[in-house]
């Protein structure tokens, strides 16, 4: 009997069996998704959400990679990975100022077919607008930031003041309180005036609340040197830096400025929503339970303004696992996940209905004071070249407020010319 044909058949069957078992084994393994995010203030909350995702989707595993907490530093890392077409990154967090840049560069996946119009209607309109570029959507809003005005409720009540509606009223109230308290370490105001993206947000709030602007979104006319804008910047230089706020405030980001307030060394404070939970944590704050919050002041004849901040999920155009990445994004931006983030981390939801949820209202009753500011929040200039615009603004604001002898008008005109060149470059980018 000739066994050779039979042995060949057996060998072929063995090889096929090995291949089948190998493929089956790989198919049974969970698909790993790499999620690149900045360093969170409450990592334990994020860990719980991701573990909940693993329980619900056992065939997908999330590997988290952490970038720095700073938006500027995080931007450098994310863009480096994406422009190099790094296929190891699937999902990333975007600051609210990044979507236009990422969409124009072709780094962020167009989510229009996945993120329906009906689903978008569940979110605050400003957050959807920030993620839209030329009619297409490139990010799903996760949580919202807007500039808020924190104040020492106990001190205002002691001196029979209502929360100030204008910046000048803030200065008057603060002067009375400082005189009455006779505490040489107490200051009127604390905010973020270091040369970084936070400075742009703070200064825009002064400019907008004085009727000024930086850039007309429709006509693309640069307005940074207009009287309303220049006067607002001059007010900060002359009345805030080294006066209402300590001179050292020009080196403050969020943590440093908040620390001054929670140590009881400032009457008024500008920060994002997360600061509420920190300020009212008795283990961290000396003023816990004595803090009020509301809209930022404005100049006479104008309404308050708040810079729109916040973070969104994007999917890399180079991801090889788009289906699984979208499942993760849907889960993290769902009603339940945003509700968890709101209650446990104090981060403001982008889904409107969460503000009416009974559990959120019971645990976070201050949200009702936040919502008007959120609805008024304004985006920074939407541009694929926003980082270049921001750099010019940072330099201008920092130089203008740091030295009382600077000619703000001349600096503003020089900045206008530089931003106009950026706008011209922007117009040449293919759509």
CATH assignment of the domain containing 328: 3.40.190.10
Q: Strand, coil or helix: what is 324?
A: helix
The token duo for 252 is 């403050």
How far is it, in rounded angstroms, from Cα 230 to Cα 365?
38
Closest CA to 374 of 278, 310, 297: 310
pLDDT at 425 over 90: yes
Per-residue model confidence as pLDDT tens digits over 82-104: 999 999 999 999 999 999 999 99
Domain's final residue, options 358, 376, 394: 376
Mean pLDDT of 199-218: 96
pLDDT at 223: 98
Question: Picking from 240-244, 368-372, 374-378, 393-397, which range would have the lowest pLDDT averaged per residue?
Answer: 368-372
Q: Are residues 204 and 317 in the same domain?
A: no
Q: Are residues 332 and 389 in the same domain?
A: no
Does 5 map to a domain?
no
Per-residue model confidence as pLDDT tens digits over 276-294: 989 999 999 999 999 999 9
Does 363 map to a domain?
yes
Phi, psi (degrees; rounded to nearest 5) at 106? 80, 20
The CA distances from residue 337 to 53, 183, 342, 344, in Å, are: 10, 44, 9, 10
Provide the 10 A C-beta neighbour count for residue 258.
26
Per-residue model confidence as pLDDT tens digits over 219-275: 999 999 999 999 999 999 999 999 999 999 999 999 999 999 999 999 999 999 889
Q: Are residues 239 and 327 in the same domain?
A: no
Does 422 map to a domain?
yes
Residue with tokens 């293919």: 430
Q: Are residues 137 and 172 in the same domain?
A: no
DSSP one-letter code for 240: I
Of all residues in the chain, the percent with pLDDT exceeding 90 is 80
How far is it, in rounded angstroms, from Cα 168 to Cα 140?
39
Q: Are residues 264 and 299 in the same domain?
A: yes
Q: Are 143 and 311 within 8 A, CB to CB? A: yes
| pLDDT confidence tier of residue 2, bands split at 50, 70 and 90 | low
Does 6 map to a domain?
no
End-to-end CA distance of the chain: 74
How far is it, in rounded angstroms, from Cα 218 to Cα 102?
20
pLDDT at 299 over 90: yes
pLDDT at 7: 61
Mean pLDDT of 182-198: 96
Buried residues in 112-125 as b, exposed as e (16+ CB within 10 A):
eebbeeeebeebbe
| Domain count across the chain | 2
Half-sphere exposure of 403 (CA within 13 A, CB side): 9
Per-residue model confidence as pLDDT tens digits over 378-396: 889 889 999 999 999 999 9
Mean pLDDT of 302-329: 96
Q: Are residues 151 and 236 in the same domain?
A: yes
Q: Strand, coil or helix: what is 91?
A: strand
Q: Are residues 189 and 158 in the same domain?
A: yes
Per-residue model confidence as pLDDT tens digits over 75-84: 999 999 999 9
Does 396 map to a domain?
yes
pLDDT at 382: 87
Residues spanned by the domain of 408: 146-307+381-427
Q: Are residues 285 and 410 in the same domain?
A: yes
Does 164 map to a domain?
yes
Phi, psi (degrees; rounded to nearest 5) at 227? -55, -45
Does 232 map to a domain?
yes
Q: Are residues 405 and 418 in the same domain?
A: yes
Question: How wide is the angle at C-alpha 345 spanned by C-alphas 343 and 349, nearest 5°?
Answer: 65
* Average predicted confidence (pLDDT) for the chain: 92
Q: Are residues 390 and 360 in the same domain?
A: no
Does 354 map to a domain?
yes
The DSSP line for 270-318 is: EE-TTHHHHHT-TTT-TTTT-EEEEPPPB-TTS----BEEEEEEEEBTT
Q: Are residues 303 and 394 in the same domain?
A: yes
How far is it, in rounded angstroms, from Cα 183 to Cα 60?
57
Q: Are residues 172 and 77 in the same domain?
A: no
Domain's final residue, options 361, 376, 391: 376
Q: Tell whether the torsion through CA atoms of 153, 155, 160 and 161 is positive or negative.
A: negative
| pLDDT confidence tier of residue 28, bands split at 50, 70 and 90 | low
């Amino acid at each position: 009997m000739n066994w050779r044909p039979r042995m060949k058949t057996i060998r072929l069957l063995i090889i096929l069996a090995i291949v089948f078992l190998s493929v089956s084994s790989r198919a049974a393994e969970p698909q790993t998704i790499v999620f690149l995010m900045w360093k969170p203030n409450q990592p334990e909350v994020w860990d719980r959400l991701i573990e909940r995702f693993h329980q619900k989707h056992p065939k997908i595993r999330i590997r988290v990679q952490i970038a720095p907490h700073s938006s500027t530093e995080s931007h450098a890392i994310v863009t480096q990975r994406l422009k190099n077409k790094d296929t190891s990154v699937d999902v990333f967090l975007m600051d609210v100022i990044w979507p236009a840049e990422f969409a124009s560069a072709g780094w962020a996946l167009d989510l229009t077919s996945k993120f329906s119009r009906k689903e978008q209607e569940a979110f605050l309109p400003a957050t959807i607008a920030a993620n839209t570029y030329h009619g297409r959507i490139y990010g799903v809003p996760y949580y919202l930031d807007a500039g808020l005005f924190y104040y020492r409720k106990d001190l205002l009540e002691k001196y029979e003041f209502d929360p100030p509606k204008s910046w000048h009223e803030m200065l008057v109230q603060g002067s009375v309180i400082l005189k009455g308290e006779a505490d040489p370490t107490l200051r009127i105001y604390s905010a973020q005036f270091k040369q970084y993206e936070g400075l742009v947000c703070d200064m825009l709030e002064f400019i907008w609340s004085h009727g000024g602007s930086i850039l007309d979104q429709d006509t693309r006319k640069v307005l940074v040197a207009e009287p309303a804008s220049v006067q607002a910047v001059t007010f900060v230089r002359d009345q805030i830096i080294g006066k209402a706020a300590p001179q050292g405030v020009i080196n403050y980001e969020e943590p440093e400025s908040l620390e001054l307030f929670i140590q009881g060394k400032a009457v008024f404070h500008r920060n994002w929503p997360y600061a509420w939970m920190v300020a009212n944590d008795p283990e961290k704050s000396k003023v816990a339970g004595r803090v009020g919050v509301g809209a930022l002041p404005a100049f006479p004849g104008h309404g308050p303004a708040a810079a729109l901040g916040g973070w969104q999920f994007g999917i890399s155009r180079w991801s090889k696992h788009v289906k699984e990445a979208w499942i993760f994004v849907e889960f993290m931006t769902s009603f339940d996940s945003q509700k968890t983030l709101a209650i446990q981390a104090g981060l403001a939801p982008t889904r409107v209905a969460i503000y009416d949820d009974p559990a959120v209202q019971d645990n976070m009753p201050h949200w009702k004071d936040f919502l008007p500011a959120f609805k008024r929040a304004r985006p920074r200039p939407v541009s694929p070249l926003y980082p270049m615009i921001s750099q010019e603004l940072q330099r201008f604001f920092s130089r203008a407020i740091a030295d009382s002898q600077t000619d703000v008008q001349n600096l503003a005109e020089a900045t206008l010319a530089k931003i106009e060149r950026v706008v011209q470059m922007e117009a040449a980018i293919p759509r």
